[in-house]
Structure 1
Amino acid sequence: MDEEALTFGRSSDPRDGTSLRDVFDASYRRLVVQLYGVTGSLDEAEDLVQEAFVRAAASGRRFLAVDNHEAWLRTTAINAHRSRWRKLRNGRRAYPRMLPPRDPAGLEQHLEIIDALRALPESQRQVIALHYLADLPVDQIADELGVPSGTVKSRLSRGRAALAVQLTAAEGGVDHV
């Protein structure tokens, strides 16, 4: 690890004034909420955001030179999530009997919206979380996820429709969609 990565609380460029600590203080909670929406797990969201900050610290001045620190961290965290998801999926195929129970007893104390988000396909959950929790425009979501903006719009539309059905059912209402 290079020297500037170890100066967490100090700016690498005194003229700049931005330090990794400043970025952490300004972005950590927002990023955790956004990744919570993407993953459906607070523990996973915190872990992914922390991993993104570790990678930022390891990249040193290159990270501090980025125009939008929060977008860089969010993209890094989402990519780490995708990587973990692929490994988990491949592990399930290889060792289906060795997996622990999906949700141990007592952990289903989640809000209805998070439960509804969990039920969405991964691609829809990502765009819903980025659009509504991170307040990102469609074009920026498309850039961060590496998909066309039309795909993001389609996923948003389908995700909203699926959420409406699930939340209506959770309230005990009748579905008129």
Structure 2
Amino acid sequence: MPGADPGSFADFYSLQFSRIATQIYAYLGDHAEAQDIAQEAFVRAFDRWAVVSAYDEPFAWVRRVAWNLATSRMRRVKVTLGYLSRQREEHTPEPSPDRVALIQALAKLPDKHRLAVVLHYLANMTTAEIAKQESVADGTVRSWLSRGRAQLAGCFEESQEEVAHHG
């Protein structure tokens, strides 16, 4: 900073910082944010101290910079809060006991049997479509389905027996 007197800036800063920080604190209601903004305004003044120190009221320049920074912050906060208020929290209902039982029963099936049951009954695919996807014969898929259904039936018969026995 050629021509600038750093000592005069240090004195200026010492005398004026708390005034700016207090005003910005009153405006924002956030003490730490007010201090950060006041600090930023003084850093900007320091970068231009050769010019700012020649102004009739250097304090007014720093105050204006601080207020501009605070106003920008307020706008950003307002935009952010507006955006957040428009976001909807999605609530997904918990799975029904039947769905939980089905998922548990499907998990007990061998992989190919489970694949055939899920694709046929939940994805509505024909045995021919599943066979093509899995590169196997249609009869193989029919066998997987038959075995998968039998195993699922067995799982649900066991569940019914447990309910009857414990109920």
TM (normalized to structure 1)?
0.43
More helix by share: 2
Greater relative contact order (Cα < 8 A, sep 6+): 1
Larger C-alpha radius of gyration, 1 or 2?
2
TM (normalized to structure 2)?
0.46
